[in-house]
Structure 1
Amino acid sequence: MKIKKAVIVVLLVFTAFAGFAQGGKKLDKIIKRDYQIIEGTISKMSDKTVEYSLPGETIQISLDVSQIARIEFASGRSQTFDVSQNNTPTASNQSITAVEVKANTIAVLPIPYVNSQNLESSDEMSRLAQNDMYNRLLDKSANIAPLTVQDLRITNSLLSKAGITSQNIDQTPIEDLEKILGVDNIVAAKISFTVSESSTATTYSSGTKTDDKNKKVKTNDVSTTTANSQLYYYYTVYFDMYRNTTKIYSQTRKPFLNLKDSWMDSVTYLLKRSPIYVKK
């Protein structure tokens, strides 16, 4: 009887340990080109697809490799998927509708705005960054003569018709973008950032006072503690400029300040030092 109970106890302990081990199992991480992250267990890979299952499920899900940017395996190994190996529908493998190229015209491409901690992108901030670059070029039109800035609505409309967004624009060759937009100059930028938070606490005490004999006397006043939190943004701005498919300028800059809009300072700095900018 005692032996039977001992066996049961051992089985229960083994079952609990197995369940714990399974629950704490490290998962594979699939990072898609649209910055979505999928955690699961990869069971099979081929040149065209990757098959995986989600935690707690046995159903196998198939994902086209054209949608995958990188896989971080539970073993610690990482595999990056080259853009040239995928079949993502970009201007390079679609039939390109060429627009007549207007000489001395410059277009501002959508600017990816990506949190490098989780690879999440913001379409709203991407549009804001593109508008900011566009307006800076317009404001300095005298400094970039004889170049003319292509209207932003025309740029985005032509890109949209070609199926190009801020999330896949890096996959499209510059020569194709120039044909699609009908320009001979292009500004391409990208903003990557991380965020950290710092908290401080300040305590104000009014529980004592000094009497006529310079002695501290306790009062009924209470102390108050105020907590303040501050977000710090650490940006890296990538700035490229092309003329007739040739890269004529390529710089990377980190803003001096760590404020939410500090990336704008780097854009201004890089633009003023680009080959198209002439001081007046």
Structure 2
Amino acid sequence: MKRAILICFIALISLFKTFAQTNADKYDVVVKTTGDEMVGKITEINEDNIKFTYKGETLSYTVKKADIAKVTFASGRVEIFNQPQTQPNLPVNPAQAAPADTKNQVAILPFGLIVGGQPGSEAMQTQIQNDCYTNFAQKAVSMKFQDPANTNVILFRNNVTPETIKGYTMDDLCHMLGVEYLVTGVVTLNHASSTTTGGGSSTSTTKKTDSKDKTTTYSSGSSSSYDNYTTIILMNIYDHGTKIFTKSHQAFWPGVDAYKVTLSYLAKRTPIYNK
């Protein structure tokens, strides 16, 4: 009998010891609005902040309530202080932004422009882009060509410039613009010569006087100067990340607008023209 009582007493002591140990191992958990967790003991809660000590330490920290999302106390009670911060709207990875259907959709990027070895104007680059669009769109059958104005807005919103575009693959740009095909190109203009044309006419009148005849000659004329250029255009077509067409051609005409005829010549030879 005494032995049974002793065993029960020892078991009861062990149970209390286990319970005490379990409670001692419990800590308060503070979750901040940034998602960070602090595990330890809250020693004081004030109007604007709390006093907190990390487990295994004695140093007390002050944490603003505005920075706390919630607290799970050692007792299991949960108190909400603030909603967690949401992640900012970061730019979408172009490789993950593709719409459901891009089949037969085509976008034309602003053409690169080199004039006399120097970058050409942005206005001229956009003009060439629009002229290229006209060449393709007017003969499109099943292909749908994106308006260059819309293309340029999407590029602008994604901070794609002539400098930053180097950080994107053609596949990235296709997904960003929501197209299957991408048309790119470079127009190179080099000054070749200058041509001056001119013409004129003259008239004479004779007036008699008492002593002699007086002849007066009148003349008029005009001249024009033209700059002659060699124009070379390189055009590329991409199907997502795969180049399916590339061709370079030099214009037959020497004028600065010779690129228009050359664009038409190249467009007709691409696999997406009149398709």
Shorter-chain TM-score range: 0.5 to 0.7
Instruction: Name the CA distance, whole Å, in 1 between partners of 2:164 and 2:270.
Output: 25
User: Which residue in the other structure is 1:255 paired with?
Assistant: 251
The TM-score normalised by the length of structure 1 is 0.55
Change (3 A) 1:171 1:114: farther
Change (3 A) 1:121 1:259: same
Instruction: Name the CA distance, whole Å, in 1 between partners of 2:121 and 2:167.
Output: 18
User: Which residue in the other structure is 2:77 paired with?
Assistant: none
Change (3 A) 1:242 1:112: same
Q: Secondary structure at the match of 2:161?
A: coil
After superposition, give the CA deviation of every residue in 1:163-198 in whole Å (9 maximum; x if it has no partner). 113455456321221222122211111111123422
Aligned pairs for 1:77-88 within 5 A? none
Change (3 A) 1:123 1:148: same
* CA RMSD of superposed structures (Å): 2.8
Aligned length in residues: 175
User: Which residue in the other structure is 2:183 paired with?
Assistant: 187
The TM-score normalised by the length of structure 2 is 0.55
| Percent of aligned pairs with the same amino acid | 27
Return 5+ residue gaps in structure 2 as ranges: 1-90, 207-212
User: Which residue in the other structure is 2:119 paired with?
Assistant: 120
Instruction: Name the CA distance, whole Å, in 1 between partners of 2:180 and 2:166.
Output: 18
Change (3 A) 1:125 1:263: same
After superposition, give the CA deviation of every residue in 1:220-268 in whole Å (9 maximum; x if it has no partner). 2144453321122321111000113111110111111122321011111
After superposition, give the CA deviation of every residue in 1:71-126 in whole Å (9 maximum; x if it has no partner). xxxxxxxxxxxxxxxxxxxxxxx8734322412211111112221x2513211111
Q: Secondary structure at the match of 2:133?
A: helix
User: Which residue in the other structure is 1:100 paired with?
Assistant: 98
Q: Which amino acid aligns with 2:195?
A: S
Q: Which amino acid aligns with 1:103?
A: K
Aligned pairs for 1:212-227 within 5 A? 219-227=215-223
Contact kept? 2:136, 2:274, Cα under 8 Å = no
Change (3 A) 1:186 1:226: same
Change (3 A) 1:253 1:176: same
Q: Which amino acid aligns with 2:172?
A: D
Q: Secondary structure at the match of 1:106?
A: strand
Q: 1:275 Cα deviation (Å)?
A: 1.1
Q: 1:277 Cα deviation (Å)?
A: 2.4
**In structure 2, which of residues 216, 220, 238 is the aligned counterpart of residue 242 of structure 1?**
238
Q: Which amino acid aligns with 1:234?
A: T
Return 5+ residue gaps in structure 1 as ranges: 1-93, 210-216
Q: 1:278 Cα deviation (Å)?
A: 4.3
Contact kept? 1:123, 1:166, Cα under 8 Å = no
Change (3 A) 1:127 1:186: same
Instruction: Name the CA distance, whole Å, in 2 between partners of 1:154 and 1:201.
Output: 46
Change (3 A) 1:263 1:218: farther
User: Which residue in the other structure is 1:199 paired with?
Assistant: 196
Please say which structure displays the higher CA radius of gyration: 2
Q: Which amino acid aligns with 1:263?
A: Y
Contact kept? 1:96, 1:162, Cα under 8 Å = no
Instruction: Name the CA distance, whole Å, in 2 between partners of 1:156 and 1:234.
Output: 28
Aligned pairs for 1:28-177 within 5 A? 96-97=93-94, 98-101=96-99, 102-115=102-115, 117-142=116-141, 145=142, 147-166=143-162, 169=165, 172-177=168-173
Instruction: Name the CA distance, whole Å, in 1 between partners of 2:110 and 2:176.
Output: 14
